[in-house]
């Protein structure tokens, strides 16, 4: 049985949140609830709080909850956070970092590499209101952040909030959690212990500089998948390059176990270069090309850094068009308004799709009839153009567009 040793408070006086205080009492579980929806859901909330305390293994607890119409997962996360803060610190858990991690070809990981990634929307992992509405904007990926956007004093509650949201909600978008770095900070291992069992699609490792850092995360994922009977490759990794050292090791990092994507973190990289932000971003040119080449050689996704000025949509589109021309798969987004703009640039238009279908059909016809020369719209067609056409068709379908090609006209491309 766990023991509460002191009073503790977590949460904020904000819409869809719940301010929770726990206090030690002699025995039993008492609940003092104030809620905007008390008439409709007061009994349910009280039962949820009692059940959460019991399942966490506590007795002798009074819970004072000021509910602002929080969803169940948020109430549970706040109660768990208060209990954790009011208890004796947990003993440090020993982590075996000697066991080798094998780089396997896993079907689920291969599928994750091919997933569409036009937009990756940042969502603060400690703000229920933003978590609740995150999925309605249609981002390809939602990145719940428990790293840079979370103050040190809220790291413990952010990981719990994010984990409970993942456990209780069904997201249509791919779910990504940016943890704190496992060796550069004191929070990363605790993040892994709480977040990996919540089963996000991807763990994002910030400031990745070495393969050994990826192996720490991959090792934890392996352990949790095995313990829960999940298929290998259920959870994968996206790395973020944010330093000169990381950039020098980028090729090896891209080939590390479970890595299905890579992203650029520009601000820390600029600081490491001892430069600032320029327009155009000449300081990022080498980094962008380097991570893109490494990603393509490894067959993984490549996502660009954020565009921080949400009041400059024209500048955002200009940058997205630039990185698309380079070969990137998508853009990190910090505001919902940026998602549709990114999708418009990265989604093939009708003209591109029609031309690609014509290329594939003509190529198949030429092979079938032993034609030596292939031309579409008066232009010669060779192998690389056929591959590009297939990729455009694949991307359009991944974006939900129905594309029909003649039977036997398609090819397999990575």
CATH (domain of 71) = 3.30.230.10
User: pLDDT digits over 86-97, tens only?
Assistant: 999 887 777 777
Query: What pLDDT was estimated at residue 369?
Result: 83
Q: How far apart are CA 179 and CA 376, in angstroms?
A: 49
Considering the domain architecture, whether residues 337 and 366 belong to the same structural domain is answered as no
Considering the domain architecture, whether residues 140 and 53 belong to the same structural domain is answered as no
Considering the domain architecture, whether residues 172 and 267 belong to the same structural domain is answered as yes
Query: What pLDDT was estimated at residue 167?
Result: 98
Query: What pLDDT was estimated at residue 104?
Result: 87
Query: What pLDDT was estimated at residue 298?
Result: 98
User: pLDDT digits over 111-134, tens only?
Assistant: 999 999 999 999 999 999 999 999
Query: What pLDDT was estimated at residue 370?
Result: 82
Query: What pLDDT was estimated at residue 222?
Result: 97
* Per-residue pLDDT at 192 exceeds 80: yes
Considering the domain architecture, whether residues 269 and 177 belong to the same structural domain is answered as yes
* Per-residue pLDDT at 23 exceeds 90: yes
Considering the domain architecture, whether residues 134 and 23 belong to the same structural domain is answered as no
Mean of pLDDT over the chain: 96
Supply the range of the domain harboring residue 28.
8-85
- pLDDT > 90 in the chain, percent: 89
Residue 43: band (very low, low, confident or very high) from pLDDT cuts 50, 70, 90: very high
Looking at the structure of the chain, the number of domains it has is 3
Considering the domain architecture, whether residues 271 and 371 belong to the same structural domain is answered as no
Query: What pLDDT was estimated at residue 92?
Result: 74
Which residues partner with 31 through β-bridges? 63
Query: What pLDDT was estimated at residue 408?
Result: 87
- SS3 for the chain is CECECCCEEECCCCCCCEEEEEEECCCCEEEEEEECCHHHHHHHHHHHHHHHHHHCCECCEEEEEEECCCCHHHHHHHHHHHHHHCECCCCCCCCCCCCCCCCCCCHHHHHHHCCCCCEEEEEECCCHHHHHHHHHHCCCEEEEECCCCCCHHHHHHHHHHHHHHHHHCCCCCEEEEECCCCCCCCCHHHHHHHHHHHCCCEEEECCCCCHHHHHHHHHHHHHHHHHHCCCCCCCEEEEEECCHHHHHCHHHHHCCCCEEEEEECHHHHHHHHCCCCCCCCHHHHHHHHHHHHHHHHHCCEEEECCCCCCCCHHHHHHHHHHHHHHCCCEEEECCCHHHHHHHHHHCCCHHHHHHHHHHHHHHHHHHHCCCCCCEECCEECCHHHHHHHHHHHHHHHHCCCCCCCCCCCCCCCC
User: pLDDT digits over 368-382, tens only?
Assistant: 888 777 888 888 888
* Per-residue pLDDT at 74 exceeds 80: yes
Average pLDDT over residues 46-50: 99
* Per-residue pLDDT at 31 exceeds 90: yes
Considering the domain architecture, whether residues 25 and 171 belong to the same structural domain is answered as no
Query: What pLDDT was estimated at residue 188?
Result: 97
Considering the domain architecture, whether residues 186 and 228 belong to the same structural domain is answered as yes
């Amino acid at each position: 049985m766990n023991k509460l040793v002191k009073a503790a408070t977590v949460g904020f006086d904000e819409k869809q949140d719940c301010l929770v205080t726990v206090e030690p009492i002699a025995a039993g579980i008492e609940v003092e609830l104030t809620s905007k929806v008390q008439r409709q859901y007061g009994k349910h909330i009280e039962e949820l709080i009692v059940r959460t305390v019991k399942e966490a293994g506590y007795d002798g607890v009074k819970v004072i909850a000021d509910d602002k119409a929080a969803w169940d997962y948020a109430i549970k996360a706040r109660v768990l956070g208060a209990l954790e803060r009011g208890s004796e610190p947990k003993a440090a858990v020993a982590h075996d970092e000697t066991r080798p991690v094998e780089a396997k070809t896993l079907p689920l990981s291969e599928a994750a590499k091919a997933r569409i990634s036009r937009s990756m929307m940042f969502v603060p992992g400690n703000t229920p209101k933003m978590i609740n509405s995150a999925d309605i904007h249609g981002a390809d990926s939602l990145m719940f952040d428990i790293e840079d956007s979370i103050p040190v004093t809220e790291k413990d509650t952010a990981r719990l909030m994010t984990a409970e949201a993942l456990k209780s909600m069904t997201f249509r978008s791919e779910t990504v959690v940016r943890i704190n770095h496992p060796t550069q900070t004191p929070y990363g291992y605790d993040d892994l212990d709480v977040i990996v069992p919540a089963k996000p699609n991807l763990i994002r490792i910030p400031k990745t500089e070495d393969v050994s850092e990826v192996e720490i995360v991959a090792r934890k994922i392996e352990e949790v998948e095995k313990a829960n009977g999940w298929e290998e490759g259920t959870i994968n990794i996206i790395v973020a390059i944010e330093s000169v050292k990381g950039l020098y090791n980028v090729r090896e990092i891209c080939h590390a176990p479970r890595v299905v994507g890579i992203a650029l973190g520009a601000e820390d990289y600029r600081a490491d270069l001892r430069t600032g932000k320029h327009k155009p971003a000449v300081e990022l040119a080498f980094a962008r090309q380097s991570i893109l080449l490494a990603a393509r050689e490894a067959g993984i996704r490549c996502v660009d850094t954020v565009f921080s000025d949400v009041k400059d949509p024209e500048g955002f589109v200009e940058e997205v068009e630039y990185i698309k021309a380079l070969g990137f798969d998508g853009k990190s987004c910090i505001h919902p308004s940026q998602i549709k703009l990114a999708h418009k640039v990265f989604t093939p238009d009708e003209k591109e799709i029609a031309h690609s279908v014509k290329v594939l059909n003509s190529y198949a016809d030429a092979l079938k009839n032993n034609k030596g020369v292939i031309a579409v719209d008066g232009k010669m067609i060779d192998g690389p153009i056929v591959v590009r056409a297939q990729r455009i068709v694949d991307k359009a379908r991944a974006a939900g567009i129905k594309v029909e090609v003649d039977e036997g006209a398609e090819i397999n491309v990575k």
